[in-house]
Amino acid sequence: MLNYDIILKNISKPGRYIGGEIGQTVKDKSSVHCRWAFCFPDCYEIGMSNLGLRLLYSSLNARDDVWCERCFAPWPDMEQRMRETATPLWALESGDPLSLFDFVAFSLGYELSYTNVLYMLELAGIPLLSCDRGEDDPIVIGGGCCTYNPEPLADFFDLFSIGEGEESLPELSDLYLSMKKDGSYTKEAFLRKASELGGFYVPSFYQVHYHPDGTIAGFEKKYDELPDTVQKRIIRNFDKAHFPSKTYIPYIDTVQDRIMLEVMRGCPRGCRFCQAGMVYRPVREKTPELLNEQAKCLYEATGYEEISLSSLSVSDYTRLSRLTELLLEWTDERRVSLALPSLRADTFTKELMDRISTIRTSTLTFAPEAGTQRLRDVINKNVTEEEILRACQVAFSAGKNQVKLYFMIGHPTETNEDLSGISELSSDVVHSFYQCPDRERGRGGIQVTLSVAAFVPKPFTPFQWEKQDSLEETERKQQYLRSVITDRKVKYNYHDAKVGRIEAVFARGDRKLGRALLEARRRGFRFDAWEEYFSYQAWMDVFRDTEIDPDYYTTRGFGEDEILPWDLIDCGITKAFLKEERHRAYAGLVTPNCMEHCSGCGAAKLGGEETWCNRTLSRCGKTAAPKTN
Amino acid sequence: MVQPNTFPLRENRCPEDQLMDEYHPQNETITVRIGFAKTGLLRFISHLDLQKTMKRAFLRADLPVWFSEGYNPHPKMVFATPLSVGMESLCEFADIRLTKPITPRMLKDSFNRVMDGNLTVWHASTPVFKLTDAYWSSYEIVLVHPNASPSLALEMDSLYKGPLPVVKRTKSTEKEVDISPFIRIPSVSYEEVGAIRIRCQLCVSNTDFLNPSYLIAAASSRFGLSFDRADSHWSVLRTDLFLKDGVTPFL
């Protein structure tokens, strides 16, 4: 039993480690036969904000004989205390060490959190390598968007859940329970059966062969019945997706401390750099009436003062007008504000602005992603300068005077002219503020904040084969951009290029990177997603000592005919579509979004209802609902 | 540790089912004083987090909370005394504004139904005294240490009864102060399991607030007790709140 008075003595933010939140699930251990420890490889404040964790926690706990608990990466001060007191990593609800659990699951959303996975396993006393774990050790499973290329983690995980887990994880628990019950359980037998369920990838069942130059020669299956590729799982009818009516409410401040109402899954747009926009297809929506009920239910269960409509591109939700109308019937009088992140400039209207601006609105954010129309066409962003300026005008007229613009540098074919375009576009936004007759006067005028990230080529995007700019080139572009931004109302923030390079290595990495991760753990790496703990030089030393050439994964670029490390995974989108999109990018051709025209990406084969994908609909004998916005 | 629901909390002087209906003449709101306990694992959440937790509980409980007007509407809550992270209390008071009258029973039942027992409202009434009238708070401090002994308890008892100069730190200054005027009726006893129990009243007034950690620090420096080790710890429980006479319960 943990003694909190001792373990939490002089620890920063002890509220991270106590659990006990209103809405957490506690069960009687004796009536539970399958226990999950759901781990988020970052600190409490980040992990508690994760919607996926909330959904899966709730869908696993919906069953009486399964108990899912939470665990987050202890901050380094707690790591030290745990090592001093020989306290193994525990799950918040029961306080039991992770090694006692049946499943230890990791949510993998960011490549730089991989070191924290190994950090947490080590603190839990669980052998890091799957081949070193025995029958009594927990089964280590990973899921989340990073598992579309799970290969760098192949050595450490027993299996990966590919795609949406609300249905597949309870199925996996069922399989586990039944095999334990009828005595047929061995880890190997269980993993074999699991790979038949669909959506589960067991890396140890596939051997990778390499060419002398390091590229992949092929994959070899251990058993004949295994699928050649593992197809991701989706929830076909999103209205019927498991909904957590009861959810944990953190006591301490977290990053996303509000109701997250997931209005749709997938994005119809098809930006060519965006992994989420590709791998979450097909688009599926929830109906406004259901969403309104769910929002009310969550408000009553939590008392949150803000509802965030969440999706990859919320203004593409076809019945947004109806939904906000329903929500405003009760939210205003209860002082609950609506937040719409991820707005698109082309679909942002005055009507929408009026709906979100009644209570506590903050800065508006748009993502033009590139500075010139030419480059926006290359990346298929499909937003024009006029649309961006018009959207800003709407915001200014409503009294806003802060706009945040997201850009990315390092896109394929980018030139200095495109970089200058970022500066020009920002100045145009400033200019349009002063031309707006209804602008907010006084209060220091306008503030435009630029957040400029560096492009990281990601698997399952049309840019998956692209070269990443070298570190020197990215840093040159960052400095160039600084030199051309002269407007004093424009604030320029940019991401560390070194972080983007390491991210790129792991995003497109193969199994050889396992040895680098292992060595990184041996050297004590953790919290690499945090600036204060990230050391580029230390990573370069690890790569040198483990004979990994980071250029191979970054500046080299991948050949279109090359076998890719993630070719074992099938996210629905075909390689032929991605190739075609890449070629269209180089030709400067835009591809219309799914609402306007089907481009035949391949995701329709996965099925789905309430969707914009016409191919999917015709498969289930339906036609698309008319767009009402 | 004493459980909040079993502790003999003070008797409620206000009838449970009589509406609290004293409207503030200017803004048509009703100010209600609640007495609550913050115990168990909630001792590890900060004052700011407590405010947020209370506010959400009020909203979940669907109580008629008044919201401030303006850009960021929020319920108004004022607390009588601060409580450090890591310390428990059976006796906290706060004022909150409501838009319509309710009974103490309704308020308590609705609030406690949406919390889990670590934050329990046990009293509600129209305020009797001013919040700033709170002057002495009683505490039970338990020190668990391998060096704990009956003789150490005796020595500590006389330590707290005599003049007690300590270095008091604020954000900008650091000065030596005799804290004995801010300690009332201390008594120290030895408990069987290597634990020493200190009972006392400490000043909670705005100007002379004395944090119980000073008493722990004074004992550890005088007797060389380190609490920064795996076999030792302290716990602090605030048990009651009084006016300046040290006897009249604050309400």
One-letter-per-residue 3-state SS of A223-236: CCCCCCCEECECCC
What is the rounded average pLDDT of the residues A380-404? 87
Q: Given a cut of 70, is residue A342 above it in pLDDT?
A: no
| pTM, two decimal places | 0.93
Q: Read off the pLDDT band of B184 (50, 70, 90).
A: very high
Residue B3 lies in a domain: no
Assess whether B155 and B144 both reside in one domain: yes
pLDDT of residue B43: 94
What is the rounded average pLDDT of the residues A23-30? 94
Q: Given a cut of 50, is residue A576 above it in pLDDT?
A: yes
Q: Is A240 on the interface with B (CB under 8 A)?
A: no
pLDDT of residue A610: 63
Rounded-to-integer distance, Cα A512 and Cα A337, Å: 48
Contacts of B46 in chain A (CB under 8 A): 15, 252
pLDDT of residue B11: 61
Tokens of A491: 């604030």
Assess whether B123 and B151 both reside in one domain: no
Residue B52 lies in a domain: yes
Q: Given a cut of 50, is residue B2 above it in pLDDT?
A: no
pLDDT of residue A361: 59
- CB contact (8 A) between residue A14 and residue B44: yes
pLDDT of residue A364: 79
- pLDDT, tens digit, 9 for 90 and up, residues A358-369: 555 557 788 899
pLDDT of residue A508: 97
Residue B16 lies in a domain: no
Q: Read off the pLDDT band of A618 (50, 70, 90).
A: low
Assess whether B176 and B215 both reside in one domain: yes
Rounded-to-integer distance, Cα B133 and Cα A177, Å: 61
Q: Is A10 on the interface with B (CB under 8 A)?
A: yes
Residue B143 lies in a domain: yes
What is the rounded average pLDDT of the residues A437-444? 76
Assess whether B80 and B92 both reside in one domain: yes
pLDDT of residue B5: 41
Between A82-86, A239-243, A338-342, A549-553, the lowest mean confidence (pLDDT) is in A338-342
Best probe of the A interface among B1, B39, B41, by most A CBs < 10 A, is: B41
Assess whether B222 and B211 both reside in one domain: yes
Q: Is A305 on the interface with B (CB under 8 A)?
A: yes
Q: What is the SS3 assignment for A27?
A: coil
What is the rounded average pLDDT of the residues A250-278? 93
Rounded-to-integer distance, Cα A279 and Cα A256, Å: 23
pLDDT of residue A626: 44
Contacts of A359 in chain B (CB under 8 A): 73
Share of chain A above pLDDT 70, in %: 95
Between A415-419, B16-20, B198-202, the lowest mean confidence (pLDDT) is in B16-20
ipTM attached to this prediction: 0.88
Assess whether B178 and B98 both reside in one domain: no
Question: Which of B152, B239, B141 shows the shortest CA–CA distance to B190?
Answer: B152
Residue B172 lies in a domain: yes
Between A54-68, A179-193, A329-343, A541-555, the lowest mean confidence (pLDDT) is in A329-343
Rounded-to-integer distance, Cα A559 and Cα A575, Å: 13
Q: Is B105 on the interface with A (CB under 8 A)?
A: no
Rounded-to-integer distance, Cα A392 and Cα A346, Å: 11
Rounded-to-integer distance, Cα A593 and Cα A601, Å: 11
Considering only CB atoms, A18 lies closest to which of B44, B55, B58, namely: B44
Question: Which of A611, A553, A601, A559 shows the shortest CA–CA distance to A152?
Answer: A553
Within its chain, how far is the Cα of A62 from the centroid? 24
Assess whether B92 and B109 both reside in one domain: yes
Residue B139 lies in a domain: yes
DSSP conformation letters of A405-455: EEEEE--TT--HHHHHHHHHHHHHHHHHHHH-TTPPPSTT--EEEEEEEEP
Domains held by chain B: number: 2
Q: Which residue, B132, B160, B175, sits at the end of a domain?
A: B132
Query: Between β-strands B233-242 and B136-144, what pairing exists: parallel, antiparallel or unpaired?
Result: antiparallel
The Cα of B44 is separated from the nearest Cα of chain A by a number of Å equal to: 6
- CB contact (8 A) between residue B233 and residue A335: no
Rounded-to-integer distance, Cα A150 and Cα A373, Å: 35
The A residues from 339 to 368 touching B (CB cutoff 8 Å) are: 359-360
The Cα of A304 is separated from the nearest Cα of chain B by a number of Å equal to: 6
The A residues from 11 to 40 touching B (CB cutoff 8 Å) are: 14-15, 17-20, 22
Residue B200 lies in a domain: yes
pLDDT of residue B4: 41
**Which residue on chain A is closest to B71 by alpha carbon?**
A360
- pLDDT, tens digit, 9 for 90 and up, residues A142-178: 999 999 999 999 999 999 999 999 999 999 999 999 9
> How many other C-beta atoms lie within 10 A of the C-beta of residue B181?
12
pLDDT of residue A629: 40
**Which residue on chain B is closest to A335 by alpha carbon?**
B73
Contacts of B115 in chain A (CB under 8 A): 22
Considering only CB atoms, A84 lies closest to which of B42, B230, B235, namely: B230
Cis, peptide link before residue B75, omega less than 30° from 0: no
Assess whether B128 and B34 both reside in one domain: yes
The Cα of B230 is separated from the nearest Cα of chain A by a number of Å equal to: 6
Question: Does domain A363-456+467-508 match CATH 3.30.565.10?
Answer: no
| pLDDT, averaged across chain B | 89
Phi, psi torsion values for A610, nearest 5 degrees: 50, 55
Domain CATH for B153 = 3.30.70.3190
Assess whether B144 and B115 both reside in one domain: no
Assess whether B88 and B104 both reside in one domain: yes
Question: Which of A3, A165, A26, A166 shows the shortest CA–CA distance to A92?
Answer: A26
Assess whether B127 and B171 both reside in one domain: no
pLDDT of residue A245: 84
Q: Is B96 on the interface with A (CB under 8 A)?
A: no
Q: Given a cut of 70, is residue B8 above it in pLDDT?
A: no
Q: Which residue, B85, B117, B132, sits at the end of a domain?
A: B132
Q: Given a cut of 90, is residue B21 above it in pLDDT?
A: no
Between A305 and A452, whose confidence is greater?
A: A452
Cβ within 8 Å of residue A350, ≥6 positions away: A394, A397, A398
Q: What is the CA radius of gyration of chain B?
A: 20
Rounded-to-integer distance, Cα B36 and Cα A18, Å: 21
Q: Which residue, B97, B132, B167, sits at the end of a domain?
A: B132
Residue B13 lies in a domain: no
- CB contact (8 A) between residue B235 and residue A5: yes
**CATH class of the domain at A4-231:** alpha beta
Assess whether B128 and B208 both reside in one domain: no
Q: Read off the pLDDT band of B86 (50, 70, 90).
A: very high
- pLDDT, tens digit, 9 for 90 and up, residues A59-83: 999 999 999 999 999 999 999 999 9
Q: Read off the pLDDT band of A608 (50, 70, 90).
A: confident
Best probe of the B interface among A12, A259, A305, by most B CBs < 10 A, is: A305
**Which residue on chain A is closest to B49 by alpha carbon?**
A252
Domain CATH for B43 = 3.30.70.580
Domain ranges of chain A: 4-231, 363-456+467-508, 576-619
Residue labelled with tokens 């609902």: A625
- pLDDT, tens digit, 9 for 90 and up, residues A550-575: 999 999 999 999 999 999 999 999 99
| pLDDT, averaged across chain A | 92
Range of the domain at B164: 135-242
What is the rounded average pLDDT of the residues B114-124? 91
| Contact between residue A469 and residue A500 where contact means Cβ atoms under 8 Å apart | no
Cβ within 8 Å of residue B118, ≥6 positions away: A20, B38, B39, B40, B41, B42
Q: How many inter-chain contacts (A to B, CB under 8 Å) are there?
A: 72
Question: Which of A297, A225, A227, A221 shows the shortest CA–CA distance to A261?
Answer: A297
What is the rounded average pLDDT of the residues A110-120? 97
Q: Read off the pLDDT band of A439 (50, 70, 90).
A: confident
Between B71 and A368, whose confidence is greater?
A: A368
Contacts of A307 in chain B (CB under 8 A): none
Share of chain B above pLDDT 70, in %: 94
Q: What is the SS3 assignment for B231?
A: coil
- pLDDT, tens digit, 9 for 90 and up, residues B22-60: 888 777 899 999 999 999 999 999 999 999 999 999 999
Question: Which of A599, A604, A606, A601 shows the shortest CA–CA distance to A618?
Answer: A604
Highest mean pLDDT (candidates A428-432, B168-172, B224-228) = A428-432
